[in-house]
Amino acid sequence: MENCMDVMHLIGVYTKTIMKSWFQYKVDAVLRSLAVFLRESTGIIVVYFTLLKFDTLNGWNVYEMLFLFSLLFVTYGILILFFTGLRDFGHTVRSGGFDRFILRPRGLLFQIIFVNADWFAAIGHGGLGITLFLVSAAKVGIVWSFDKVVYYLLAIFGGVLIQGAVFLFLATLNIYLLETGSLKELFYWNARKFAGYPVSIFHRAIQIGMIYIVPFAFVNYFPAQFLLRKEDMAAYPELFLYLTPVLGIVLYLLAYLFWRYSLKFYKSSGN
Amino acid sequence: MTFIEVNNASKKFRINQRASGIPGMIANLFAPKYEYRQAVKDISFSIEEGEMTGFIGPNGAGKSTTIKMLSGILCPDSGEIKVGGFSPYKDRKKYVGNIGVVFGQKSQLQWDLPVLDSFELLKAIYRIPEKMYRDNLERFTEMLDMSGFLQQPVRQLSLGQRMRADIVAALLHSPKIVFFDEPTIGVDVAGKETIRQFIRELNEKDNITMIFTTHDMQDIEKVCDRLIIIDEGTKVYDGELMGIRERFGTTRQLDVEFVQECSVEPIEKVEILELDQRKKRFIFENRDVKIDELMNELLAKYSIRDINISEPEIERLIRRIYQGEVS
């Protein structure tokens, strides 16, 4: 109990420090959330107007597409709050910041996560996710029973962990490679671009990538399918609808074990 | 009591040999070539509690690697390291609460925030009790004359001020061992003196064990009792600072001022340097040349105004040790 209080206290002090640092440049801090929101919205607006011309995409109408997008942004909003430090871990290693974490009597992942929590980007991405959810949820015909609310929350949890596992895995590679920017581009950001659309529209090879390699399909497509039940689900096993939370936990644990194993190979960055 | 014990520690790094140009990059992708560099080779030493040890060596000698192994950042490939009963790498979380590390080249302070905010953050990270925090802060602030800039953002501080703040940051949790990695780098003369006095005083009063790396020999002469010199990953000297003169200080120099301008004939096994028109410096090894014979010879041949015998400076000796001239 005392331990828990101590950890909460430290998280509080970290958060206060982050806020204070950001508000040294007040205008920038506020604009940052807005800039993230607008930048990400642009992509959505393009899709929105394109779809208005086509009516549906493989059976998905505009609002169902927006709902699919909302899952991507809500999970990313939470992800970016907790995993910015892992996303930018390469920089932390090169600048010697990780040496400093090792010298402090706290968990390494704990420090990486809470020292770098990016509240403003989280508000930008999460805000967009919530906006999309509010716009689409009422128009896609989901009846929000208790079961479905619980499922939705579990799917968000699993979706965050799946992406968190990808971040943690790529961060761990930094211990061996120092620079992994292009791998991140390939395996995370490109995969995420595909994830904006129903996975069923893609070539078989891309589908395999999205389901078995970087399983983004479980972040938004299958959870959306559980709630919307579109016809294109027929191509996939029913089981996939329920896998998201389990997959999140399993992948994250695997990435965590890889992280623990790799730490002893850490070389520091030299002076 | 032996506090720090290092037995045959070694550390090797693998360096990727990249060929230049685009073909080289592609070749590197498929068949990377590696080169191994032995940063630290079979180093052993032990340090007693409360000792103040200078750790020196040329760039790339393995100083930083050794400090990083002692502080738990790096894990030695082979050999054993024990500090205060802990194995730094294995017992990291328990161990690092007992140590403080100052990296002169890398600040641990929050760049955009007042110094005091960084201290408050450290208080939470290290779980420093309120009273200990207040006492330490007050004492160190006073000793290092910092009250004037505690409320200023770190980015506005001078290098000397920032360094003092960084030193305090490493000491707030009352560590038993402190590693200083070049704590005076880039600081002006007065600032260096303040830092040296502070470190000295803290070592004497609080019996904190300290390890100090630097390239500034003044730091070593003024602060350390003991010296460990490493070069190319191995230990080349370990002993008292003054002992270095006895062991390596076999050269003498004789500065002679002549009454008038004159040329001096070469003398066997003596190096002669021209200081100015009438002053010359004679450098020789103790065992080769007897100083009284040399002086007699000079006095007999030339008319001399002044003679000055001096022992070599520590700095000069150490430079010679680095260059492998003495062993």
Rounded CA gap, A165 and A115, in Å? Answer: 19
Rounded CA gap, A249 and A12, in Å? Answer: 26
Cβ–Cβ below 8 Å for A264 and B96: no
Residue B203 counted as domain residue: yes
Quick one: which of B63, B62, B68, B108 has its CA closest to B88?
B68
pLDDT tens readout for residues B15-39: 776 666 777 767 766 777 777 888 8
Q: Token pair for residue A30? A: 């506020």
Asked if residue B262 and residue B173 are part of one domain, the reply reads no
Asked if residue B175 and residue B286 are part of one domain, the reply reads no
Instruction: Sort out which chain A residues have CB atoms less than 8 A from B112's CB and list them.
Output: 20-21, 24
Give the mutation candidate from A28, A102, A109, A261 for the B interface (greatest B CB count, under 10 A): A102
Low-confidence ranges of chain A (pLDDT < 50): 271
Query: What is the nearest CA distance from A224 to chain B, expressed in angstroms?
Result: 40
Residue whose token pair is 């030339």: B302
Q: Using an 8 Å Cβ cutoff, are A73 and A40 in contact?
A: yes
Residue A183 counted as domain residue: yes
* Pairing mode of beta strands B2-17, B33-48: antiparallel
User: Could you tell me if B71 lies within 8 Å of chain A, comparing CB atoms?
Assistant: yes
Rounded CA gap, A100 and B177, in Å? Answer: 16
A113 phi/psi in degrees, rounded to 5: -70, -50
| β-strand partners of B46 | B5
* B292: three-class secondary structure by DSSP: helix
Q: What's the CATH code of the domain at B302?
A: 3.30.70
| β-strand partners of B48 | B2
Domain count, chain A: 1
Helix (H) or strand (E) holding B178, with range, is: strand B177-181
Query: What is the nearest CA distance from A237 to chain B, expressed in angstroms?
Result: 39
User: Could you tell me if B124 lies within 8 Å of chain A, comparing CB atoms?
Assistant: yes
Give chain A's contact residues with B (Cβ, < 8 Å): 6, 9-10, 13-14, 17, 20-21, 24, 95-96, 99-100, 102-107, 264, 266-268, 270-271
Residue B286 counted as domain residue: yes
Residue B301 counted as domain residue: yes
Quick one: which of B167, B135, B132, B162 has its CA closest to B150?
B162
Low-confidence ranges of chain B (pLDDT < 70): 1, 17-20, 25, 28-29, 249, 311-313, 324-327
Rounded CA gap, A41 and B143, in Å? Answer: 55
Cβ–Cβ below 8 Å for A24 and B106: no
Rounded CA gap, B292 and A96, in Å? Answer: 57
Instruction: Sort out which chain A residues have CB atoms less than 8 A from B108's CB and list them.
Output: 100
Identify the pLDDT of residue B326: 56
* Residues 6+ away with beta carbon under 8 Å from B131: none
Domain count, chain B: 2
Asked if residue B260 and residue B238 are part of one domain, the reply reads no
Identify the pLDDT of residue B206: 93
* Residues 6+ away with beta carbon under 8 Å from B277: B261
Q: Using an 8 Å Cβ cutoff, are A158 and A244 in contact?
A: yes
User: Could you tell me if B112 lies within 8 Å of chain A, comparing CB atoms?
Assistant: yes
Q: Kindly give the interhelix angle for A62-87 and A146-177, rounded to the nearest 10 degrees.
A: 40
The whole domain housing A146 covers 2-265
Residue whose token pair is 């999309």: A132
Cβ–Cβ below 8 Å for B125 and A10: yes
Residue whose token pair is 């040296």: B196
Identify the pLDDT of residue B209: 94
Asked if residue B133 and residue B73 are part of one domain, the reply reads yes
* B10: three-class secondary structure by DSSP: strand
Asked if residue B268 and residue B234 are part of one domain, the reply reads no
Q: Using an 8 Å Cβ cutoff, are B232 and B224 in contact?
A: no
Asked if residue B216 and residue B91 are part of one domain, the reply reads yes
Model confidence, pTM: 0.83
Q: Using an 8 Å Cβ cutoff, are B163 and B146 in contact?
A: no
| β-strand partners of B180 | B102, B212
Q: Kindly give the interhelix angle for A62-87 and A119-137, rounded to the nearest 10 degrees.
A: 160
Identify the pLDDT of residue B312: 66
Asked if residue B147 and residue B289 are part of one domain, the reply reads no
Count of positions (residues) in chain A: 271
Q: If you count residue pairs, one on A and one on B, with CB atoms under 8 Å apart, how many are there?
A: 68
Quick one: which of A91, A100, A95 has its CA closest to B71?
A100
Query: What is the nearest CA distance from B240 to chain A, expressed in angstroms?
Result: 28
- Written as one string, the DSSP assignment of chain A is -HHHHHHHHHHHHHHHHHHHHHGGGHHHHHHHHHHHHHHHHHHHHHHHHHHHHHSEETTEEHHHHHHHHHHHHHHHHHHHHHHHHHHTHHHHHHTTHHHHHHTSSS-HHHHHHHHH--HHHHHHHHHHHHHHHHHHHTTTT----HHHHHHHHHHHHHHHHHHHHHHHHHHHHHHHHS--HHHHIIIIIHHHHHHTS-GGGS-HHHHHIIIIIS-GGGTTHHHHHHHH--GGGGGS-GGGGG-HHHHHHHHHHHHHHHHHHHGGG------
Quick one: which of A211, A212, A235 has its CA closest to A221?
A211
Residue B33 counted as domain residue: no
Identify the pLDDT of residue A271: 47
Asked if residue B76 and residue B144 are part of one domain, the reply reads yes
Instruction: Sort out which chain B residues have CB atoms less than 8 A from A95's CB and list them.
Output: 106
Interface pTM, i.e. ipTM: 0.84
Cβ–Cβ below 8 Å for B124 and A10: yes
Rounded CA gap, B223 and B217, in Å? Answer: 10
Helix, strand and coil percent figures for chain B, each rounded to 5: 35, 30, 35
Residue B57 counted as domain residue: yes
Residue A72 counted as domain residue: yes
Residue A271 counted as domain residue: no
Rounded CA gap, A240 and A218, in Å? Answer: 8
Residue B15 counted as domain residue: no
Quick one: which of B17, B324, B296, B123 has its CA closest to A13?
B123
B47 phi/psi in degrees, rounded to 5: -130, 135
Identify the pLDDT of residue B279: 87
Residue A59 counted as domain residue: yes
Asked if residue B202 and residue B109 are part of one domain, the reply reads yes
Quick one: which of B89, B95, B56 has its CA closest to B72?
B89
Helix (H) or strand (E) holding B81, with range, is: strand B78-83
Asked if residue B218 and residue B106 are part of one domain, the reply reads yes
* B153: three-class secondary structure by DSSP: strand
Residue B22 counted as domain residue: no
Query: What is the nearest CA distance from A267 to chain B, expressed in angstroms?
Result: 7
Q: Token pair for residue A93? A: 């290693």
Q: Token pair for residue B183? A: 């704590």
Query: What is the nearest CA distance from A226 to chain B, expressed in angstroms?
Result: 43
The whole domain housing B115 covers 2-8+40-245
Cβ–Cβ below 8 Å for A102 and B72: yes
Asked if residue B163 and residue B71 are part of one domain, the reply reads yes
User: Could you tell me if B92 lies within 8 Å of chain A, comparing CB atoms?
Assistant: yes
Rounded CA gap, A99 and A82, in Å? Answer: 20
Residue B26 counted as domain residue: no
Asked if residue B240 and residue B157 are part of one domain, the reply reads yes
pLDDT tens readout for residues B125-147: 999 999 999 999 999 999 999 99
Residue A270 counted as domain residue: no
